Amino acid sequence: MTLQSELQATIAELVDGQRGILAADESGGTIAKRFASVGVESTEQSRRSYRSALLTSEELGEYVSGVILFEETLGQCDDQGIPLAQRAAAQKILPGIKVDRGKGPLPGALGDTITFGLDGLGERLRGYKKLGARFAKWREVYPLGPENPTELGLHANAEVLARYAAVCQREGVVPIVEPEVLMDGNHSIERSAAVNERVWHSVFHALHRHGVILELMLLKPSMVTPGSECARAEPQQVAEYTLRSLRRAVPAAVPSIHFLSGGQSPEEATANLNALNRLGNAPWQLSFSYGRALQQPALAAWRGREEHICAAQGALVRRARLNHLAMLGQYRDSLERAE
């Protein structure tokens, strides 16, 4: 199998019009905060137990086509000694891997950040493939303020995303490109739309420069929403602004857009995805790659107790099913109340 046919096979499994991607790639610091919110200490054993429960949830594969894993999880086994990546694959859920190494300040661009991890990326990807990873994810973060992102910030972050994507495709790993414009702040939805457009334009210019094949990658962007300090926008408004901005900046060659949830609640993320798909006429599949918006109900049900695993799995599958319905434009608020 050639590299291109290998990449195409992965895209075909991830993009089927029915399922989204579970983001279970929280770093050590992030998952420690999530666990602390439900009174659980973050240890290697507790993380393994929790993520094992997620990946063995019955029926999850009906609504989720891929899972983004943290490096630690990709190398872990369940209590029966079966690799967790293999557990996911048994449900037709493709294992993926977060490959960036966190962010820091971008020198020369006050308020902007840059993500690390390009050094040795090709070698790491070859190792991850041997463990079962079929795709990867890299996140660049764009703070939204009166002066940010700067032109330097736009250019530097786009270059890193493009270099990462090019290395992935060279190694036969499908890249998920994640330019996250943060919700933090009091900006209007109009300001959010303008910044997201600039970010996406810069990213795709860089992808072209680096020869990335657009048909063999996925985009994981923010939705266009007002800042977190403002009143929430209605799903119809979020959908209209988001789709208009995407049409202006994202080539139709990209097969699928898997939205991140950012600071949205599980219910908001589902309602907004549903509104996007009800608008129709998008040249891409509009799907989800949610972390907290899928896991929050499961984590609250689990609380570190083995006897709560079935309840946690049920909460995860329910949330995934609702987002599956949102991909079809068939989600209704009444479903939330009825279940």
Query: From start to end of the chain, where are the E strands?
Result: 20-24, 64-69, 94-98, 103-105, 113-115, 135-142, 174-181, 218-219, 256-259, 285-290
Contact (CB, 8 A) for 3 and 55: no
Report the 10 Å Cβ neighbour count for 335. 15
Distance set, CA 314 to CA 82, 112, 146 (Å)? 22, 40, 43
Tokens at residue 13, please? 């499994």
For residue 92, indicate whether it is catalytic.
no
For residue 220, indicate whether it is catalytic.
yes
Tokens at residue 88, please? 């996911």
Phi, psi of 214 (to 5 degrees): -65, -30
Q: d(Cα 96, Cα 39) in Å, to the nearest integer?
A: 29
Residues in the chain: 339
- Selecting among 26, 159, 171, 220, the annotated active-site residue is 220
Distance set, CA 227 to CA 7, 107, 209, 287, 322 (Å)? 36, 26, 32, 22, 25
- Selecting among 178, 197, 240, 268, the annotated active-site residue is 178
> What residues act catalytically?
178, 220
